[in-house]
Amino acid sequence: MSKDNENNCIKKIICRCEEITKEEIREAIREGHITIKTIKIRTRAGMGLCQGRTCSTLIRDIISEMTGIKKKDVLPDTIRFPLYPVELNVLGKK
């Protein structure tokens, strides 16, 4: 990667919900966080409204790019079932 491209990456937002930049993700990887879960704990990327549905793929790609781990071998975050909104009158019925 050329120096100009690397400088452009510094301000590139990876997690829009938590406003985490690519450089913050790269810094976490340099510190040894090489799973999506540990990067989430370190940076908060993936803790926003979409719960990582948008950014986890990008984070996986960055981990793969920096460490050489194949994308399919990067450990994912804990997968949780989707929750659906429930109206309060449903919960309050007797």
Binding residues for ligand FES, per CB under 6 A?
A: 15-18, 45-46, 48-52, 54-55
As measured in angstroms, the least distance from the Cβ of 26 to ligand FES is 16
Backbone angles phi, psi at 40, to 5 degrees: -60, -45
- The residue among 51 and 88 lying less far from ligand FES, judged by its C-beta, is 51
Ranges of H-type helices in the chain: 3-10, 22-30, 36-43, 56-67, 88-92
User: 18 in helix, strand or coil?
Assistant: coil
As measured in angstroms, the least distance from the Cβ of 16 to ligand FES is 5
CA 5 to CA 19: how far, in whole Å? 20
- The residue among 16 and 71 lying less far from ligand FES, judged by its C-beta, is 16
* Cα 58 off chain centre by: 7
- The residue among 21 and 54 lying less far from ligand FES, judged by its C-beta, is 54
As measured in angstroms, the least distance from the Cβ of 40 to ligand FES is 9
- The residue among 21 and 64 lying less far from ligand FES, judged by its C-beta, is 21
